[in-house]
Amino acid sequence: MPRKPNYDRNELIDRSRDLFWRRGWAGTSLKDLEAVLQMKPGSFYAAFGSKDALFKLAMEKYAMDGLERLKQMAEKLGPIKALQRFPMMAIENEDAPAKACMLSKTLLELQAHNHPLAKEANLHLLRMESHFAELFEQAQAFGEIDSDLDPQVLARRYQSDLLGLRVSAEREGIDATAIATEIADSLARL
Amino acid sequence: MPRKPNYDRNELIDRSRDLFWRRGWAGTSLKDLEAVLQMKPGSFYAAFGSKDALFKLAMEKYAMDGLERLKQMAEKLGPIKALQRFPMMAIENEDAPAKACMLSKTLLELQAHNHPLAKEANLHLLRMESHFAELFEQAQAFGEIDSDLDPQVLARRYQSDLLGLRVSAEREGIDATAIATEIADSLARL
DNA sequence: TGCTTTCTTGAGCGGTCACTCAAGTATATA
DNA sequence: TATATACTTGAGTGACCGCTCAAGAAAGCA
């Protein structure tokens, strides 16, 4: 009986993610979103409820995609090779709206205000870290790295390096690929 | 003939730096600044000109203090020990308004808008990186690390690690001291 | 075709933003 | 003490913020 929306909700979330990722939470206004989504305020609020609610959806998609890419890479290359290539992949995609990680950007922007989205970002980062740990564990099982090392510790350091790499990649005039290579090399020495 | 300001300009910049460091650029409103500085809008604009101008001053002080601490540490401990201790020092100060680096926070927040303050932040980061490189060079001259390595490359990687560490330290439930220790350890292996 | 139900539109809400300025106040010099 | 010269005050500026809602348009069902 009713009328269907004339947009693809999933694609709208993608476009929002790109905008939020690049410009951040405060840096993205409703007007910006309306322009990119081609939506008037009424439709926007009917569809998503609020700017924060959409940001949450965008961040979830961002995190899910990242995890998915890591899993696919691990299936194709095995755990250690996946971990080695992941940093380079994260920074070499020219189409991405930003080099830096959307989760860390959100965390840094909103943590001081105790904004719920900061906690959300931290949660996604924890999930990613867990999967890094799993891969390190698998690599140990395969005898690819020293099995005396603690996978959790390795994962935490790895994620920290990755976040640093991606902040550096955001800078102008910095050759981040060299850093990515070094991160990969240091994994080979474990 | 005139009247003197009844405030210590330097201390006002310190307080602004702490607020900006913690809350970021968009996250700090004029009202916030007026409250912390105990100034009415008129005085504020007479003293500093604009929010951005004060942010610039705050960031300059932030960068100068960081560089100063590094130099003092290097004088006291020598280059390599200073580089080893610097990461831990950066995250263990409980009085600091934030663990993450103000320069990287500013860069991530404002880079997408081509805001002049983002370029300014990048410049301060470059200056810091140069000094890291100097210390690596000195360490080579002292025979403390392999002299075949490129000090510039070492410095870039070191700064990247440091930025990652400080993002991680900002997170809740992450033991950043372990990461700091590992950064120090990996310098010992050069 | 007519009715119901949803989606779309866009003017406009109260609030906050960075900032201004005219008036008042304090102080160093003449 | 009188005057010139800042500094301080705070109400008020226009612009933008996230968001609301009443009215109109479109599509599925009878």
| Boundaries of every domain in chain B | 52-188
User: Is CATH 3.40.630.30 the right assignment for the domain spanning A50-188?
Assistant: no
Specify whether the CB–CB gap between B160 and A167 falls below 8 A.
Answer: yes
Q: Which residues of chain A neighbour B164 with C-beta distances below 8 Å?
A: 159-165, 167
**What is the CA angle A149-A180-B136, rounded to 5?**
85
- Amino acid type, B32: D
Nucleotides of strand C lying closer than 7 angstroms to a protein CB: 4-12, 16-23, 25-29
Closest Cβ–Cβ partner in A112, A167, A182 for B108: A167
B96 touches chain A (CB under 8 A): no
Q: Find out whether A118 and A43 touch, Cβ atoms under 8 Å.
A: no
- Per DSSP, the residues of A97-116 read S-SS-HHHHHHHHHGGGT-H
User: CA angle at residue A165 from B70 to B188, to 5 degrees?
Assistant: 50
Element at B130 (helix H, strand E): helix B116-141
CA pair distance A101, A122, nearest whole angstrom: 12
| B105, B156, B182 member nearest A108 (Cβ) | B105
Residue reference for tokens 């060079």: B137
Out of A110, A160, A168, whose CB is closest to B168?
A160
In this predicted model, what pLDDT tens digit does every residue of B40-93 receive, in sequence order?
Answer: 999 999 999 999 999 999 999 999 999 999 999 999 999 999 999 999 999 999
- CATH code that applies to domain B52-188: 1.10.357
Identify the residue whose Cα has the smallest distance to the C1' of C8: A43
Q: Would you give per-residue pLDDT tens digits along chain A (190 residues)? A: 677 888 899 999 999 999 999 999 999 999 999 999 999 999 999 999 999 999 999 999 999 999 999 999 999 999 999 999 999 999 999 999 999 999 999 999 999 999 999 999 999 999 999 999 999 999 999 999 999 999 999 999 999 999 999 999 999 999 999 999 999 999 999 8
Based on the number of CB atoms within 10 Å of its own CB, is A190 exposed (0-12), middle (13-18) or buried (19 or more)? middle
Protein residue ranges contacting nucleic strand C, Cβ under 7 Å: A 1-7, 39-43, 46-47; B 1-4, 28-31, 41-42, 44-45, 50-52
CB under 8 Å to A67, separation ≥6 — which residues?
A: A127, A128, A131
- Distance from CA(B4) to C1'(D7), angstroms, rounded: 7
Chain B CB within 8 Å of residue A113 CB? yes
